[in-house]
Amino acid sequence: MKKDKPPQDVESDTLRPEYDLSQLVQVGERGKYHKALRKRYTRVVQHKDGAEEITHFRPLPGTVHLDPDVRAYFPDSEAVNTALRGLIALIPARQRAARKQKKK
């Protein structure tokens, strides 16, 4: 049976006033590897015993990547699908039928 522990006092903000937060440097780069991830990449892990583990990654079939400016207009995949269905409806029926025949 576990005993309930009494809640511990939480310290208030302990950041000293003499720290200048404007001098902090941003570490890292956001989206550094996104171009490589869009295509495919290989990960090589070298173990202590000298063995190498090689893993190949590729995007799943049907994966679609949206650029950030486009993504700003579409919050989720449902919004993207709705917009694309609206565009498909604008394509004349003859062109749609021709495209379906080419796929077969």
pLDDT of residue 8: 67
Place of tokens 């990960």: 43
How far is C-alpha 11 from the chain's CA centre?
35
For the chain, what are the domain ranges? 34-59+66-103
Place of tokens 């000293």: 16
Would you give the DSSP letter of residue 3? P
Residue 1 has pLDDT above 60, yes or no: no
Structure tokens given for 29: 């780069």
- High-pLDDT (> 70) share of the chain, %: 86
- The pTM of this model reads 0.41
How far is C-alpha 78 from the chain's CA centre?
17
